[in-house]
Amino acid sequence: METVAVIVQDGFAPFEFGLACEAFGLDRSDDGIPNFDFRIVAAEPGLIRSNLSFSITVEHDLSFADEADLVVVTPVPRASWGAIDPRVAGVIQRAVARDAWVLSVCSGSFVLAASGVLDGRRATTHWRYAATMAEMYPEISVDPDVLYVQDGRVITSAGTAAGLDACLHLLRQELGPEATNQIARRMVVPPQRDGGQAQFIAHPLPVAASHSLAPVADWMVENLDQDLSVEHLAARAHMSARTFARRFKADFGATPAAWLGRQRILHAQRLLERTDWGLDRIADECGFGSAAVLRQNFARMLGTTPTAYRMRFACVDESTQAKEREEVAV
């Protein structure tokens, strides 16, 4: 990879744009890292407005992007998601057709989606917009819980800093781990966060379409430590188990077991953030029964451990962290 084009359009997001410039545009030759022929391009060169009331001057048109080894797409305003500039769409389509790298940051994935290159692919975007993308583009397999997704030579990333993870992921493939670690060190960021790691999002409790099931769902959340079988829940709803399971999935978009598992993990996240309780106590409180089962479910849903999550998101004293490390070792 030698040439990189970053496409900007009116209303671009400065932070996500800056990530691409930082990752691919800086001169790092003093560290022995090869420079890229890096250019910012636009359909109409000149002043391009950001979403923060300032503009940048873009000198290059899209012709350079038609030859670039990597085309980076930055976010655009929500009003533009369904109707992008056909000139930009054409560049992206041709880049994919000639097997160039294509990378979107955050909601820039909507530009790729509108161009059609994500059809039949797995992709991600910021968790706040994942449901919208899935609704607008049912041909795309949208994963809302990961930092980035690579499908072939197309990479989509989640919100803000996850875009930097995606850039480093690509650099690792092109430059190797040693050079990428140097780049990350200069940025003062972790050299690698696995794309499968969850976006640590606080999913709000969904609102049931059926008022008859809303009280049952509320009761489930208030009694996560109990054994909540479908039969027991159906009895509370005055339904057969089969009817309850069917209605629940229709209203909440998941089976009772899957929805309950998510609520238990959410409660565990809150307890890890706000208390210094040990993992066994949290497991009991959330209905997992044991710390081992809590760890298994936490890893499956969030791609990390309860201890790692607490160390990142909670203020706990060193003695608590040391205790948890001992529990993990056991």
What count of Cα atoms within 13 Å lies in the side-chain half-sphere of residue 45? 10
Rg (CA), the chain: 23
Across 145-154, 184-193, 255-264, least confident range = 184-193
Joined together, the tokens standing for residue 222 give 């208030």
User: 301: pLDDT confidence band, cut at 50, 70 and 90?
Assistant: confident
Q: On the CB side of 279, how many CA atoms lie within 13 Å of its CA?
A: 25
Could you tell me which residues come within 8 angstroms of residue 303 by beta carbon, excluding any fewer than 6 positions away?
146, 194, 196, 197, 198
Distance CA 121, CA 113 (A): 10
Pair 220, 295 in one domain:
yes
State the pLDDT at residue 214: 82
Q: Are residues 226 and 316 in the same domain?
A: yes
| Domain identity same for 117 and 224 | no
CA–CA separation, 13 and 131 (whole Å): 21
Express the helix, strand and coil content of the chain in percent, nearest 5 each. 50, 10, 40
| CATH assignment of the domain containing 286 | 1.10.10.60
Same-domain check for residues 225 and 170 = no
15 with 163, same domain?
A: yes
- Residue 207 confidence (pLDDT): 47
Mean confidence (pLDDT) of the chain: 87
What is the reported pTM? 0.69
* Domain identity same for 167 and 41: yes
Among candidate residues 38, 9, 12, the one with its CA nearest the CA of residue 24: 38
pLDDT score for 254: 79
Q: For the chain, what is the domain count? A: 2
Whether residue 110 contacts residue 81, with contact meaning beta carbons closer than 8 Å, is answered with: yes
Residue 73 contacts residue 108 (beta carbons within 8 Å):
yes
Give 84's DSSP letter. Answer: -
pLDDT digit string (tens) for 169-179?
899 889 988 88
Question: Do 183 and 47 lie in a common domain?
Answer: yes
| Domain range for 39 | 3-187
Tokens of 143: 């994963």
| Whether residues 268 and 140 fall in one domain | no
Count other Cβ atoms within 10 Å, centred on residue 118: 29
Q: Give me the pLDDT at residue 195, please.
A: 63
Distance in angstroms (rounded) separating the CA atoms of residues 300 and 141:
19
Please, which residues have CB within 8 angstroms of residue 180's CB and are 6 or more apart in sequence? 168, 171, 172, 191, 192
Question: Do residues 4 and 25 lie in contact, with contact meaning Cβ atoms separated by under 8 Å?
Answer: yes
The answer on 154 and 87 residing in a single domain is yes
Q: What are the pLDDT digits (tens) for 9-59?
A: 999 999 999 999 999 999 999 989 999 999 999 999 999 999 998 999 999
pLDDT at 144: 86
Give pLDDT tens digits for 182-234: 888 888 776 666 666 667 665 555 544 445 788 898 899 899 999 899 999 99
Cα separation, 222 vs 196, whole angstroms: 30
* C-beta of residue 205 within 8 angstroms of C-beta of residue 193: no
- Give 327's pLDDT tier (boundaries 50, 70, 90): very low
